[in-house]
Amino acid sequence: MKALKITMQTDGFPVLFAKQLSQAAAAYTSEIRIIWEERNIISDVKSILGLMALEVKKGTVLTLTFDGSDEEQAMELEKLFE
């Protein structure tokens, strides 16, 4: 399993960003989760509704975890947060 920290650049997950992120994540077989440790919330990145339900604010630090055979490649999703 691999993990990396990201800092939100916007308030919440706008619909188009949530769609883009979940569709990109769906291309991988690995389990990809987003963890908001501050609130003890874990969401499946492949779920648009799960992402949109996270009411994070700009500057919130989240952890992305990748677990599976293509976890190294899946870590490319980090680029979507830049």
Q: pLDDT tens, position by position, for the chain (82 residues)?
A: 999 999 999 998 999 999 999 999 999 999 999 999 999 999 999 999 999 999 999 999 999 999 999 999 999 999 998 8
Going by C-alpha positions, the residue among 67, 81, 48 that lies closest to residue 1 is: 67
Structure pTM? Answer: 0.90
Domains belonging to the chain, first-starting first, are 2-81 (3.30.1340.10)
Q: How are beta strands 31-36 and 41-44 bridged, if at all?
A: antiparallel
Going by C-alpha positions, the residue among 81, 63, 75 that lies closest to residue 10 is: 81
